[in-house]
Amino acid sequence: MSLPSFSPQTLPWLLLLSLVVAMAAFVTSMEEMELELEGHKQREFDYFALALQWPGTYCQRTQHCCSSNACCRGSNAPTTFTIHGLWPDYNDGTWPSCCTKSNFDPKEISTLTDALEQYWPSLSCSKPSSCNGGKGSFWGHEWEKHGTCSSPVVRNEYDYFLTTLNVYFKYNVTKVLNDAGYVPSNSEKYPIGGIISAIENAFHASPQIVCSKGAVEELRLCFYKDFEPRDCAVGSDFKINMVTSKGSCPQYVSLPELASSGRDGLQSLVSDEAVL
């Protein structure tokens, strides 16, 4: 059987056709890959972690002041645990992020602003990254990175912030610890096991505690999707690690009092501290 022959005039058309076919295959492959990645991003989370910040520890980092940093409010600076965020997490220790292209709109939460300023303030002057690659507000960062992954439990921006506030008020960690004798102090150190036990007795679930230089920096409460408390432990040795040198906290930790960073002349920008 003889092979077909082509004239010189037909070769450019054949090359063009081959290029078109190759490009079509490449585009199809990229679309399939994008769908796979999108499917991974949209995989439904397993539980919520309510991350709380201890101002007395965070505000020690404040070297300059700005109007958006609650550490700089003088006598009005926060003295209780404040909200870092409500984070959808997976049981394997990972988490989804930036699940939709829903940009933060401050108008959506205008009726919540006063409460957010008091209980969910920024403790830094830095502008955290947004999901679109720019810089934005602390609330915008939390909504775009974490809040957009809260579906189907939380479906929009307003509900995300309102739900977080309600959970924060219901599970008042500061009151639990104060009632157990763990109060802010720049001289006392408290057993980390006692702090964990106080929370377990109150909420019937174990928290996660993160320390910085021997001081409590963050405390996280974990919840099922119906916001009933659950252990934050991912591994069976989690509690052991939290009360030994293997974890981020030593056996005895401090809850430092807030050293006010209020100043008459506020400077506009400072820290490049990363925000989770």
**pLDDT tens for each residue of 185-242:** 999 999 999 999 999 999 999 999 999 999 999 999 999 999 999 999 765 444 444 4
* Candidate list 141, 144, 146, 217, residue with the active-site label: 146
Average pLDDT over residues 255-259: 90
Domain range annotation of the chain: 47-254
**Tokens (6 digits) for 115:** 């409460």
Share of the chain above pLDDT 70, in %: 74
**Tokens (6 digits) for 21:** 């076919």
Cα–Cα distances in angstroms (integers) from residue 141 to residues 31, 154, 169, 251, in the given order: 28, 16, 22, 33
**Tokens (6 digits) for 155:** 């479906």
* Candidate list 141, 142, 157, 217, residue with the active-site label: 142
Average pLDDT over residues 257-272: 50
Task: Indicate whether 6 pLDDT > 60.
Answer: no
Please count the residues of the chain: 276
Q: Which of 107-116, 160-169, 244-253, 263-272 has the lowest mean pLDDT?
A: 263-272
Q: Does domain 47-254 have CATH number 3.90.730.10?
A: yes
Average pLDDT, the chain: 82
* Candidate list 32, 38, 64, 84, residue with the active-site label: 84
Average pLDDT over residues 256-276: 52
Q: Which residue has the higher pLDDT, 237 or 145?
A: 145
Task: Indicate whether 37 pLDDT > 50.
Answer: no
Please confirm, yes or no, whether 142 is among the known catalytic residues. Answer: yes
**Tokens (6 digits) for 83:** 């909200």
Q: How far apart are CA 227 and CA 34, in angstroms?
A: 33
Which pLDDT value is given to residue 233?
73
Give pTM, 2 decimals: 0.79
Give DSSP secondary structure letters for the chain: -PPP---GGGHHHHHHHHHHHHHHHHHHHHHHHHHHHHHHHTSPPSEEEEEEE-HHHHGGG--S--TT-GGGSGGGS--S-EEEEEEEE-TTS------S-----GGGGGGGHHHHHHHS--SSS--PBPTTSSB--HHHHHHHHTGGG-TTT--SHHHHHHHHHHHHHHS-HHHHHHHTT----SS--EEHHHHHHHHHHHHSS--EEEEETTEEEEEEEEE-TTS-EE---SSTTHHHHHTSTTSSS-SEEB-PPP-----SS--S--------
Which pLDDT value is given to residue 7?
55
CA 135 to chain CA centroid, Å, is: 16
Q: Which residue has the higher pLDDT, 17 or 43?
A: 43
Q: Which of 29-33, 50-54, 144-148, 181-185 has the lowest mean pLDDT?
A: 29-33
**Which residue type sits at 210?**
V
Q: Give the count of beta carbons closer than 10 Å to the beta carbon of residue 85.
A: 23
Which of the four pLDDT bands, split at 50, 70 and 90, describes residue 246?
very low
- Sign of CA pseudo-dihedral 189, 192, 193, 195: positive
Which of the four pLDDT bands, split at 50, 70 and 90, describes residue 27?
very low
Which pLDDT value is given to residue 245?
36
Which of the four pLDDT bands, split at 50, 70 and 90, describes residue 9?
low
Average pLDDT over residues 80-97: 96
Q: Which residue has the tokens 């230089």?
A: 213
**pLDDT tens for each residue of 50-72:** 999 999 999 998 888 999 999 99
Respond yes or no on whether the N-terminal peptide bond of residue 152 is cis (omega within 30° of 0). Answer: yes
Which pLDDT value is given to residue 260?
57
Residue 31, phi then psi, degrees to nearest 5: -65, -40
- Cβ-contact 226, 30 below 8 angstroms: no
Which pLDDT value is given to residue 43?
86
**Tokens (6 digits) for 11:** 């070769």
